[in-house]
Structure 1
Amino acid sequence: MNVTDQTALVTGANRGIGRQYVLELLERGASKVYATARRPESLDFDDTRVVPLRLDLLDHESVLAAAAAARDVTLVVNNAGISTGATLVTGDLAAIRRELDTHFWGTLDVIREFSPVLAANGGGAVVNVLSALSWFAAPGAGAYAAAKAAEWNLTNAVRLELAAQGTLVQGVLLGAADTDIMAGYDGPKIDPRDVPRRSLDGLAAGSIEVIVDDWTAMVKASLSGDRAAFYTKITELLGAA
């Protein structure tokens, strides 16, 4: 997909990576971008092609309303997410459920409601912003890692299910980006603008998976190796960070 003249919808567009997706889509000539947030009044884009829209992944009625309002969408970017810092064994169960409700159930809700819209408009594409933590776990990120692992395989499953209607489903995986959600992380962070740039380049090439940074490439390369050795290495790297 070349995004020029396409109509996109971006979840979690008020800050961070979501905001950068909106800006990059505009830069590449998108005809309209529905910028969504739980509080659309927090959106501050100075471009008439941007249409603010309320969408809360934990509110099914808001997803329905967004799908009804944005009937011309050809590209959906599922970016919205949270990080509670909950651990799985002793962490707050409500926080753990919120992670899964957001990243798995919320993302699935958006895909289910917008799939008919994409089909009616020729197929289009879905982009799911994932994480290197889809493939491993780190201290203090158990709930987030589990939720992102579920979202990663959700991405694989809906890719197969939507292929028949001509919808490309892309997973975008990255380590830490310099955004509000990673403010407490002291390790290396990539420029958040790199995420939509590489993702949209990938769409133009028909790529179903985009690895944004070297950290994530290292994690992926380790998957076929010995897990004990990997976790020894990752613990040393995170300790150094």
Structure 2
Amino acid sequence: MRIGGCRALVTGAGRGLGAAFVQSLRRAGADTIYVGMREPRELNQPGLIPVALDVSDPDSIAAAATRCSDVSLLINNAGVMKPDACLLDVQGSNDLHEQLAVNLFGMLDVTRAFAPSLADAGGGCVVNMLSALSWASLPHTSTYSVSKAAAWSLTNGLRNELRAQRTQVIAVHVGYVDTDMARAVNAPKLAPDVVATRVLEAIERGDEEILVDDTARQVKAAMLWPRPLYLGPDPGR
């Protein structure tokens, strides 16, 4: 699909990567950009419409879908990460539920709510922000990786179901992005505007998957190693 003239909704658009998507859409000529935020604030740029949207709240999603009934591009960007959560303790279980509520069920519920609008627009496009950690789990990312692996599988399922209405579904995998979520990470990070620009280019190419950076490409390639990366260190060494 073409970005120019489209009507887009970005979830989690108040800051970080979501805000970068909003500005990239403006530069690319989007007609209307619905800026989904838990706590909307006044926006003074033409074409930007703040929308109250909490992706973990079904009533909030329903209200946004009613208000933004002309969306042709949906960018599921909202996400949460609970670092250092352990799968085997009580707090880790709570953290996992919170991340699944946003990273998995939020993505599903928002897509379901806006699927009719996308169909009315001739199919449109859904972009799901995933992660290189959809394919691997690090000691400090266990619960987050579970949520992103589930979201990757969800994305593949949604692509199958939305194909009949000609909706393009893109899975976006990337390593660390220079946002608040990765503030404590001491590793190379990609600028949010670079990620947003590359994703918009993928939309216009008609891609179904984009590996934004070398990290995502390397992690996916490592799934085919003799000992795949997702198995972790070799206990025999």
Aligned partner of 1:223: which letter?
M
> Residues 53-202 of structure 1: matches in 2 within 5 Å?
53-85=51-83, 86-90=85-89, 92=91, 93-202=93-202
In structure 2, C-alpha distance between the alignment counterparts of 1:61 and 1:156, rounded to whole Å: 26
The number of equivalent residue pairs is 231
In structure 2, C-alpha distance between the alignment counterparts of 1:129 and 1:204, rounded to whole Å: 17
In structure 2, C-alpha distance between the alignment counterparts of 1:71 and 1:36, rounded to whole Å: 14
Give the secondary-structure state (helix, strand or coil) at the position aligned to 2:192: coil
Instruction: State the 1:46 CA deviation.
Output: 3.2
TM-score by length of 2: 0.94
Task: Find the counterpart in structure 1 of residue 30 from structure 2.
Answer: 30
Matched, 1:46 2:27: no
Task: Find the counterpart in structure 2 of residue 12 from structure 1.
Answer: 12
Indicate conservation of the 8 Å contact 2:130/2:174, yes or no: yes
Share of identical aligned residues, percent? 40
Task: Find the counterpart in structure 2 of residue 225 from structure 1.
Answer: 225
Structure 1, residues 35-75: CA drift from partner, whole Å, max 9, x if none? Answer: 0111112xx64312000001101110000000000011000
Give the secondary-structure state (helix, strand or coil) at the position aligned to 1:154: helix
Instruction: State the 1:90 CA deviation.
Output: 2.3
Instruction: State the 1:227 CA deviation.
Output: 3.1
Aligned partner of 2:60: which letter?
S
In structure 1, C-alpha distance between the alignment counterparts of 2:207 and 2:104, rounded to whole Å: 22
Instruction: State the 1:94 CA deviation.
Output: 1.7
Instruction: State the 1:120 CA deviation.
Output: 1.4
1:197–1:228 Cα change, 3 Å: closer
Which consecutive segments of 4 or more residues in structure 1 shift more than 2 A?
226-233
